[in-house]
Amino acid sequence: MQVSLYLLLMQERYGQVIESGLLWYLGSLSPQQVRMVPPEIQALIMHRNILAGHMMPGVPLPEVIREPWACDKCFQKAACALSHKVIADAIYLQSYLCQQPGL
């Protein structure tokens, strides 16, 4: 999927159709060709649009995935955990304050 994103970016940058790219894992002897798969690109753009919608003012962040296979390798793990903790604490504090008489 990451190669598909790079292919999409290269298409936009160079203004030409790029149908495949190369993926070369560390430790492997040769690269493998990765073809652009239109349904995969469509799914990526749909997810991108959903995420962009969550970045609008007043719209909450998406739920944490809570899938170890995804979150363990995520480069945003620390920022994600921190922002969700801050939001959870703010919601707790807000509900606590709403229950206090006279506030």
CB of 38 to ligand SF4, least distance (A): 25
CB of 56 to ligand SF4, least distance (A): 18
Closer Cβ to ligand SF4, 28 or 76, answer by number:
76
Q: Give the list of residues 6+ apart from residue 18 with CB closer than 8 angstroms, or none.
A: 7, 10, 11, 36
55 binds ligand SF4 (CB under 6 A): no
Rounded CA separation 18/96 (Å): 55
Q: What is the CA radius of gyration of the chain?
A: 20
Closer Cβ to ligand SF4, 9 or 74, answer by number:
74
Closer Cβ to ligand SF4, 23 or 74, answer by number:
74
Rounded CA separation 16/55 (Å): 30
Rounded CA separation 12/70 (Å): 28
60 binds ligand SF4 (CB under 6 A): no
Chain residues that interact with ligand SF4, rule: CB under 6 A: 64-65, 70-71, 74, 76-77, 80
